[in-house]
Amino acid sequence: MPDIPLGRRRARPASHIWTPDILQSVAAFLPPNVMACTIRLVNKSAADQFKHFVTTRLSQSVPEHAFRHHWGFPAATRTLTYEERTQLLCLTASSRSLVNLKLAIKSTGLLPQPKVLYAAVKAGNIRVCDWLIRSGCRCPLMDMGRAIGESGSKEIYAWAFGIIDLFEDHSDAIPGSRSKRSTPDRFNSYSRSNSHNCRIHTAWAATCAAACSGREEFLRWLLQRLLELPQVSGCTLRAFNPIHLLEGAAEGCRLATLQWLHQQLPKLQLLSTPNRNQEQQLPLSLKRVQRLLGAAARSPTPDWRAKLEWLEDLWQQRQQFNEVHEVPDVCQAVMSHPTEAAERLMWLQQRGYSVSTGTALVTACKNGCMAAVQVLLSQGLSADAAMSPAAKAAVMGGHLAILQALHGFRPLERTDGVYMLEVAAGGGHVKIVAWLVEVLGIGLGDGYGELLTKAASRSGSVEMIAWLQERSCPWSSECLSLAAKAGCEMAVTYLVEHGCCIPRSGAPYVLAVQNDDMAMVRCLRRLGVPWDPKGSTFTACVRNVGADKRRLPLLEWLVKKGCPVNWLAAKKYAGPGGQLVTSWLKSMKAERRQRKRKCPEQPLEQTRIAKL
């Protein structure tokens, strides 16, 4: 065979070495997100071989290159609302990737919220949690305890109780605490006893959350730690109710663990008794028994029937229980399972449980339990009084199919149509709004257009806003502020470009700062939305920031962009505990004075507004 010059040889792509057998062997050791974001992109053969891996779950580890490609630039989140961007941060924090979380925070333009720290603690990644704490992110202690319990991690428990003193100023568990956003002066004002009480509350919240989430081994470990804690104050003792723990176990744990925990009730009762040498009888009112039965009925564990039967045998109060209709019943509890609600409902009815049609129907409609709704309607129960609340619940949940089923059973009343239209528009449910307008014959020009545009702006749905604008619904003067609060840049841009009235008070900036939404603040300035020339915009922003030093970059950005400042009013609203904010205001005031001496400011021209 003649030699071929090196320059004329056609090199085969490196991806050709990945034969189907090799790929299959490698894939067995890789997580689904790596398969979807990397392996499928090797070549066409790999894409065909792993065609089922097409979904990327942000709550699981995502390859950094794929995350950067999709979310690594600010425009990637322009279509998302504030709630959706916060959800993106929470999911990324759950994925345990610090690199991706930093990138997501930068692209969303949001400061890390307490929900993000909650998600990170629940995921059990100490590295991510440490970074969030160093960034100034905090969450209430009871939420921290619940996240620890749901994590099932002893390492997270040890880490959290090592830094728990940092959370005292954000605790909702401290008696006498007036706000979750307390001032730094209160940081060192708690006695050692109160600090210990905070730890007790957090440990109790973790124990209850571990029971509810089915972390059985972790529950036993936490309960042992809790029983070993020293004497606590009577104020703290009132927070302990063993029935809450038993209720959580009835929902999340297996029958064996529930029975074991029931055997521990005497010890738990001692924990909640001021005199630990005196055991008191555990009170079990009818309502508490009902809550236990309801927890077992909605349990996701396979042995939920066995747990409910065991509880019935334990207290023998079912007949008396079914006579109580003033409080939600056991049958209503199963409506939290959209796929199994109907089956569980019929099983409970066969055992003699009564059902309060009104409350059960409303709950089923709200949670989207179509099969359960059909069962309740087919039984011919008297549901006339519940039809209107049920229809409103279906609209609130965005369940058009259920709304249509209710209308087929008994036509909806036009008197409820306006309220349902407003709720649907506020949820961004375009299909439901269109269906209601068509079926109920409500004219958008009958004075309802402005009401609906306000609701649509509140949702942040560009599709909903555009649908109403195409039908000549008038804008309200509040639309832009509501859209800014919703946090969707595309919705705000759409409103400005289509002639929506722009407030001159600077209210959109205040609402954006209230959300810690730097991306929205920049968007508003880019669109030329004005702020109050007398400084009330900045003063209101300072009032929202309070003593939280994490939010100073928002104020600094406003000052650097020329936002008028009333320094005396701003200092007043910084509050007596906001020394750091007050010091910052003084430095910014001096800096602006120095800048004015060197280069006097020119009036800011609202060129964007003039063009529009």
Give 57-75 pLDDT, tens digit per residue: 888 888 888 889 889 888 8
**pLDDT of amino acid 72:** 87
Per-residue pLDDT, averaged over 568-581, amounts to 72
Q: How far apart are CA 323 and CA 336, in angstroms?
A: 23
Instruction: Look at residue 14 in the predicted model and tell me its pLDDT.
Output: 56
Query: What does the pLDDT look like over 439-475, one tens digit per residue?
Result: 988 878 767 888 999 999 999 999 999 999 998 889 8
Whether residue 177 is predicted with pLDDT greater than 70 in this model: the reply is no
Measured CA to CA, the distance from residue 115 to residue 517 in angstroms comes to 15
Percent of the chain whose predicted confidence (pLDDT) is above 70:
80
Residue 370, pLDDT score: 94
What pLDDT is attached to residue 231?
A: 55
At residue 283, the pLDDT reads: 54
Residue entry with tokens 């097409």: 54
Tens of pLDDT, residue by residue over 367-397, are 999 999 999 888 866 556 788 899 999 999 9
DSSP string, 347-390: HHHHTT----HHHHHHHHHHHT-HHHHHHHHHTT---HHHHHHH
pLDDT at res. 512: 96
Which of 116-125, 352-361, 422-431, 497-506 comes out lowest in average pLDDT? Answer: 352-361
Does 327 score more than 60 pLDDT? no
Question: Which pLDDT score, from 0 to 100, does residue 92 have?
Answer: 95
Does the structure show a pLDDT above 50 at 159? yes
Q: What is the pLDDT of residues 107-142, one digit of tens each?
A: 999 999 999 999 999 999 999 999 999 998 888 888
Summarize pLDDT for 250-268 with one digit per residue, the tens.
999 999 999 999 988 877 7
CA gyration radius, the chain: 29
> How far from 336 is each of 86, 351, 353, CA to CA, in Å?
24, 20, 17
Beta carbons of 33 and 63 less than 8 angstroms apart? yes
Asked if residue 315 has pLDDT above 80, the reply is no
pLDDT above 70: residue 319: no
pLDDT of residue 180: 35
pLDDT at 57: 82
Query: Is the Cβ–Cβ distance between 140 and 177 less than 8 Å?
Result: no
Q: Which pLDDT score, from 0 to 100, does residue 206 have?
A: 95
* Predicted pLDDT of residue 191: 34
Q: What torsion do the CA atoms of 38, 43, 48, 49 make, to the nearest 10 degrees? A: -70
Answer with the residue of higher pLDDT: 49 or 156: 156
pLDDT for residue 153:
94
Q: What is the pLDDT of residues 78-101, one digit of tens each?
A: 999 999 999 999 999 999 899 999
For residues 244 and 292, the answer to whether their CB atoms sit within 8 Å is: no
Q: How far is CA 212 from CA 160, 295, 311, 514, in A?
A: 20, 9, 17, 33
Residue 122, pLDDT score: 96
The pLDDT value given to residue 170:
45
- Could you identify the residue written with the tokens 């973790």? 206
pLDDT bucket at 172, cuts 50 / 70 / 90: very low
If you average pLDDT over residues 495-505, what whole number do you get? Answer: 92
Q: Which ranges of 135-191 does DSSP label H, i.e. alpha helix? A: 141-151, 154-162
What is the pLDDT averaged over residues 492-508?
93
Question: How many percent of the chain have pLDDT more than 90?
Answer: 45
Top-confidence residue, 315 or 177: 315
Taking the C-alpha atoms of residue 396 and residue 566, their distance in angstroms, rounded to an integer, is 43
393-409 pLDDT tens trace: 999 999 999 999 999 98
Instruction: Retrieve residue 28's tokens.
Output: 């067995």
- What phi and psi, each to the nearest 5 degrees, are found at residue 36? -70, -35
The average confidence (pLDDT) of the chain is 81
At 576, is the pLDDT very low, low, confident or very high (cuts 50, 70, 90)? low
pLDDT at 583 over 70: yes
What does the alpha-carbon distance between residue 423 and residue 398 come to, in Å, rounded to a whole number?
9
- Please give the pLDDT value at position 12: 54
Residue 291 has pLDDT above 50, yes or no: yes
Band of pLDDT at residue 358, cut at 50, 70 and 90: confident
